[in-house]
A = this chain, B = another copy of it.
Amino acid sequence: MLVGGKQYLSVWMEGRKVCMVDQTLLPFQFQIFESGSYLTTCEAIRKMVVRGAGALGAAAGYALAQAALEAPIHNYSDFLLQARKEIESTRPTARNLFFAVERVYNASLSSREHAVEEACRIADEDATASEQIGVLGKTLIKNGSRIATHCNAGWLAFVDHGTALSPVYHGFREGKSIFVYVDETRPRGQGARLTAWELHNAGIPHAIIPDNATPWYMSRGMIDLMIVGADRIAINGDVANKIGTLGKAIAAQRYHLPAWFNVGATFKL
């Protein structure tokens, strides 16, 4: 009766299952993790099988849709409320997770079908928004650009396309020559493990560098712009993002580099 939405790249729903690229195994192993219950999806979020702002939002929405499918009729609303709390406890810093859970929860109040539809809609919106970031953002990338990134804000971190990497992908597909300096992103290595893996698969020339090295490359005029994702952007332009973003932003400012956070928002330092 209920089927999932589109099969996206990083995370999607098939019937009652939530499927996701297991990001803990990359870059050494590519494996799809299939979760048959909302509690298993919660565990996957906790263990960073899935990570990244948009991907977490989609996964959390799917998890609550799973819960709606699992909930017994006689105890439907209590079950959903409990599931919502459980999902919200998995990653207290992920804002996307909270608003996805809220939307799917509200939809679940009318029916299970609406819960699943809403979860799929959240994923669709994330994919569309990420694609639009690429369409708009690619105009900022000149032919021959040398671009620095931090952490992973590519398609693994969203439902598709990514945010920081979306303009890179779109520009590259248009034939622009691009080189990406990928910092390791200690302590968890999302740059070295995930961004480099994405770029390798896309055939985009890149190098992994220690987090320490980015300011030096900037000082030598070897980086034209830096693009990073952002967990959140406040209305005054303040940005919340992964540890290390601040140091890179200060260095970019020092060397007068253009820097954009979540290109759609185009905040300049």
A interface residue numbers (CB < 8 A to B): 184-187, 210-216, 219, 243-244, 246-247, 250-251, 254
Contacts and interface: CB of A to CB of B under 8 A. Distances in A.
Contact of A215 (B184, B213, B247): B247
A219 B239 CA distance: 14
A212 B251 CA distance: 12
Contact of A247 (B184, B185, B186, B212): B212
A219 B247 CA distance: 10
A217 to B, nearest CB: 10
Contacts of A210: 186-187, 211, 243-244
Contacts of A247: 212, 214-216, 247, 251
Contacts of A184: 186
Contacts of A254: 250, 254
A214 B212 CA distance: 11
* Most B C-beta atoms less than 10 A away, residue of A211, A244, A247, A250: A247
A251 B245 CA distance: 12
B215 A250 contact: yes
A243 B215 CA distance: 9
* Most B C-beta atoms less than 10 A away, residue of A186, A187, A212, A251: A212
A192 to B, nearest CB: 10
A235 to B, nearest CB: 21
Nearest to A208: B187
A247 B186 CA distance: 15
Identify the 9 closest CB pairs spanning chains A and B, nearest first. Answer: A212-B244, A215-B247, A186-B210, A187-B210, A215-B246, A211-B212, A250-B254, A211-B211, A212-B243
Contacts of A219: 246
A128 to B, nearest CB: 32
A182 to B, nearest CB: 14
Given A184-B186, A186-B184, A186-B186, A213 B243 contact: yes
7 contacts: A186-B211, A186-B212, A210-B244, A211-B212, A212-B244, A215-B247, A216-B247
